[in-house]
């Protein structure tokens, strides 16, 4: 019903591949299921799941932990224990003028893990009008899930934007943004930010947004160390929903080898509910993709509770982004209509080590407009590592504004860098 295209399945044993032919008696099929209307000679496989082994503990015994289902989409659970965003084979011209193309995994070859500690190996054939590709996945169940991915891509036409290692998620609204009054819940999202560890060693946090129009933001880089869509807010009270948004996985892309020059590109598409994936992030090479080329990439996908390897002893993280009316709070003066107030919260060990009477210095930059009413303070009734920065931003016109904030102590950087593409109201 939801996945109308069939996928050929094979098992590999002793180096020999054998196709698995579909038969309805492999499955328990409800009487009202559309699967009962398939003809006897049909291929009824839409994809596959991987379930916990018999050696898993009681809590995990029957759970699915990896799924390949629908076009080239696949996903896995993290140590937090819930499904969430998806990855896919490639992304073709997301959010462009022409309709997006979705190549399909048309066949899989599955090699079972030899032991409990070995990976499941899946070879997959990708096919679409504009591109064909071969993929190899080595999938391990760890505290979360780790996938070693290798691909070989053959474009059939010139492709304006070929996204490598694409991640797809949903962001309707969070602590900031125009949709906060659209629903009774405080926040609704699979991920709340794009995290980047660039080739220069800088750690970047970009809060996600639900824009008024399609937004495509590029972060130029060379030899990236990693990027991912992350769900940092793990407080149930910030969602109040039984679907477990606070338990959605963070997915981190770790390039293997030198990916050269290019950019991490973030595409945000307007949405008015939570049923549509409207966020996509991927690596885009610095040169155009031409028909007849052969491209190869290797990377690891980490499905975890937080991005791996973050230097918590050296940098504090962004934990909240809030926006509101500009001006002086608790003042009798009218609030200025041309200003927006930002509140960015940072939390981490380096801020806890600050000496008394020596607050961190906020470093604030915007591509245009003026910044005023800058204030930095420790968050009241919170641990000593929790600080926040306030500032007003006044801009003319409706074009988006790039903003950038981090905290430092003397010459030492204390936090990751907060980046944001602000749409004036």
**pLDDT tens, position by position, 54-75:** 666 665 667 889 999 999 999 9
- Residue 99's pLDDT is 86
**For residue 373, which of 324, 303, 311, 315 has the smallest C-alpha distance?**
324
Q: For residue 12, give the H/E element and its range.
A: strand 8-13
CA 198: distance to chain centroid? Answer: 16
Instruction: Please report, rounded to a whole number, the percentage of residues in the chain having pLDDT higher than 70.
Output: 97
Residue 39: what are its φ and ψ, rounded to 5°? -65, 160
Asked if residue 27 lies in contact with residue 20, where contact means CB atoms within 8 angstroms, the answer is: no
Locate 182 and state its tokens. 């659209």
Q: What's the topology of domain 47-304? A: Beta-galactosidase; Chain A, domain 5 (2.70.98)
The mean-pLDDT minimum among 142-156, 243-257, 326-340 falls in: 326-340
Q: For residue 351, give the H/E element and its range.
A: helix 349-352
Q: Is 263 helix (H, G, I), strand (E, B) or coil?
A: strand
The mean-pLDDT minimum among 79-83, 312-316, 351-355 falls in: 79-83
Q: What are the start and end residues of each CATH 2.70.98.10 domain in the chain?
A: 47-304
Residue 41, judged by CB atoms within 10 A of its CB (0-12, 13-18, 19+), counts as exposed
The class level of CATH for 317-422 reads: mainly beta
Asked if residue 204 lies in contact with residue 167, where contact means CB atoms within 8 angstroms, the answer is: no
H helices of 4-101, in order, are none
Residue with tokens 């962001």: 171
- If one counts every other C-beta atom within 10 angstroms of the C-beta of residue 147, the result is 21
Residue with tokens 């591509």: 367
- Residue 178's pLDDT is 63
Beta strands in 198-334 (DSSP E): 203-207, 215-222, 226-230, 250-256, 261-268, 279-285, 295-304, 317-325
Q: What are the start and end residues of each CATH 2.60.40.10 domain in the chain?
A: 317-422
pLDDT digits (tens, 9 = 90+) for 387-421: 999 999 999 888 899 999 999 999 999 999 999 99
Q: For residue 168, give the H/E element and its range.
A: strand 162-169
- Residue 41's pLDDT is 84
């Amino acid at each position: 019903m939801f996945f109308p295209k069939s996928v050929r399945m094979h098992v590999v044993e002793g180096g020999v591949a054998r196709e698995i032919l579909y038969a309805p008696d492999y499955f328990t099929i409800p009487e009202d299921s559309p699967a009962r209307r398939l003809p006897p000679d049909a291929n009824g496989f839409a994809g596959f799941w991987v379930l916990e082994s018999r050696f898993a503990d009681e809590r995990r015994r029957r759970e699915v932990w990896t799924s390949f289902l629908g076009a080239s989409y696949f996903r896995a659970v993290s140590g937090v224990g819930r499904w969430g965003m998806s990855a896919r084979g490639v992304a073709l011209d997301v959010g462009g003028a022409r309709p997006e193309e979705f190549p399909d995994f048309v066949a899989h070859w599955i090699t079972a893990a030899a032991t409990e500690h070995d990976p499941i190996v899946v070879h997959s054939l990708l096919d679409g009008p504009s591109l064909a590709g071969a993929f190899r996945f080595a999938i391990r169940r760890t505290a979360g899930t780790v996938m070693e991915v290798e691909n070989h891509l053959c474009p059939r036409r010139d492709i304006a934007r070929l996204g490598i290692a694409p991640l797809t998620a949903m962001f309707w609204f969070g602590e900031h943004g125009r949709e906060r009054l659209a629903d009774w819940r405080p926040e609704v999202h699979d991920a709340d930010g794009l995290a980047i560890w660039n080739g220069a060693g800088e750690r970047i946090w970009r809060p996600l947004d639900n824009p008024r129009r399609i937004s495509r933001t590029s972060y130029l880089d060379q030899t990236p160390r990693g990027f991912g869509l992350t769900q940092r807010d793990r407080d149930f009270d910030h969602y109040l929903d039984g679907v477990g948004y606070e338990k959605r996985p963070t997915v981190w892309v770790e390039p293997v080898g030198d990916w050269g020059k290019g950019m991490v590109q973030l595409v945000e598409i307007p949405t008015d509910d939570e049923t549509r994936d409207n966020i996509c992030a991927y690596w885009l090479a610095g040169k155009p993709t031409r028909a007849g080329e052969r491209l190869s990439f290797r990377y690891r996908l980490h499905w975890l509770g937080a991005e791996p390897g973050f230097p918590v002893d050296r940098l504090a993280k962004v934990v909240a982004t809030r926006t509101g009316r500009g001006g002086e709070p608790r003042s009798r003066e009218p609030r200025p209509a041309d200003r927006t107030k930002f509140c960015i919260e940072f939390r981490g060990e380096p801020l806890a080590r600050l000496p008394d009477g020596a607050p961190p210095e906020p470093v604030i930059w915007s591509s245009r407009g003026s910044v005023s009413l800058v204030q930095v303070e420790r968050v009241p009734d919170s641990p000593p590592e929790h600080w926040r920065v306030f500032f007003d931003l006044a801009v003319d016109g409706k074009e988006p504004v790039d903003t950038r904030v981090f905290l430092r102590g003397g010459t030492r950087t204390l936090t990751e860098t907060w980046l944001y593409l602000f749409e004036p109201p």
